[in-house]
Amino acid sequence: MSKKTSIFIFLLFLFSALAFYKVKLVYDYKKDFEQLSKIERKISILKDQNAKLKLEISLIDSSPYIYEKALKMGMIEPQKINKL
């Protein structure tokens, strides 16, 4: 083989290797982006649940009757939660 042919084959091989490496990088980026999106959705769901629970706690605290009923059903008093 001539020198030009061997250089051409080497450059073609190098270009192909770089192309496959780029595909791998794009695939990894997309996979990481999807995982980040799932985590952000879970965080959003947990924030919504936290807001709902805070609202329920404020409603329970606002009514002595509901508070007593909740204690009878097994709710732990807020002061006891902080000690756990």
* pLDDT score at 20: 95
Question: Would you call 61 helix, strand, or coil by DSSP?
Answer: helix
Q: Which of 3-12, 15-24, 31-40, 63-72 has the lowest mean pLDDT?
A: 63-72
At residue 79 the predicted structure's pLDDT band, cuts being 50, 70 and 90, is low
Looking at the predicted structure, is the pLDDT value of residue 33 above 60?
yes
pLDDT digits (tens, 9 = 90+) for 41-76: 999 999 999 999 888 888 877 888 887 887 888 877
Please tell me the number of Cα atoms within 13 Å of 30 on its side-chain side.
6
Contact by Cβ (8 Å): 59, 66: yes
At residue 81 the predicted structure's pLDDT band, cuts being 50, 70 and 90, is low
Question: Which has more pLDDT, 16 or 76?
Answer: 16
Give per-residue burial for 3-26: e unless 16+ CB within 10 Å, then b: eeeeeeeeeeeeeeeeeeeeeeee
